[in-house]
Amino acid sequence: MATKNPEQVQLKSWKKTSDGELYINPLPVRIWHWLHAMGFVVLILTGIQIRYTNLFNVLTFETAVKTHNWVAFAVIANYFIWLGFYLFSDRITVYHPELNPRKFFDKAFEQARYYSYGIFKGERSPHKVQPYDKFNPMQSITYQIVMLLVVPVQFITGIMMWDIKRFESWIAMFGGIQVIDTVHVLVFIFFLSFTMIHAYMGALGQKPSTHFKEMFTGFEEEYEE
């Protein structure tokens, strides 16, 4: 009899499929997720302190800047750990795009209908979460844009402002420090909104705690009729 992965041992309080189909998030993904979440929260709070010094006085300006910079580099390092994990593991399938436009839009429309109407009628999500296909079409395209485009833009603009003199030529090429700062702040506002929406969407499982538990244990609760 084959030996099961220790992380696939079923939890008695939850009903699981016998073959571990509902083991959605492996340990590296869960660790990355919570480190990234904590890092983003600190960056948001210190960013607000830096931007609105006259309104908030939780930290000194110097302390806020130093904390922001150190945490930013930690988040960047964590990002590359995430990127390496998905590039060199079979879990990359969760980010594979749907290449059939008609199929993608049909599924995306169905999911949008669920979020805007069906969920309030007690309907079940049209997307069945699987270990290698956990994102619905709307989630998939959103995470691809955020992780592969928006996050790198924030990193690059942040690094430029971290050492303006060293990156002076790059800053000039992109239109000057005001442009870089404006882009950085706009993306900051986007991430502030995204974080709140992400938390809200996390509460839309079978029970409000379903997806949050999933990111601690790795297991998705089975849907109960």
Per-position DSSP letters for 69-111, written without gaps between them: HHHHHHHHHHHHHHHHHHHTSGGGGGG-----HHHHHHHHHHH
pLDDT in tens, 141-151: 889 999 999 99
Residue 43 in contact with residue 71, Cβ under 8 Å?
yes
- Residue 91's pLDDT band (cuts 50, 70, 90): confident
Q: What are the Cα distances from residue 115, in Å, to 35, 112, 183, 205? A: 28, 5, 30, 12
Mean pLDDT lowest for which of 111-120, 142-151, 174-183, 207-216? 207-216
The pLDDT mean for the chain works out to 84
Mean pLDDT of 176-192: 93
pLDDT computed for residue 222 by the predictor: 60
Over residues 53-75, the pLDDT tens digits come to 878 788 888 999 999 999 999 99
What is the pLDDT confidence band of residue 121, given thresholds at 50, 70 and 90?
confident
The pTM of the whole model exceeds 0.75: yes
What residue spans define the domains of the chain? 26-88
What is the model's pLDDT at position 11?
Answer: 37
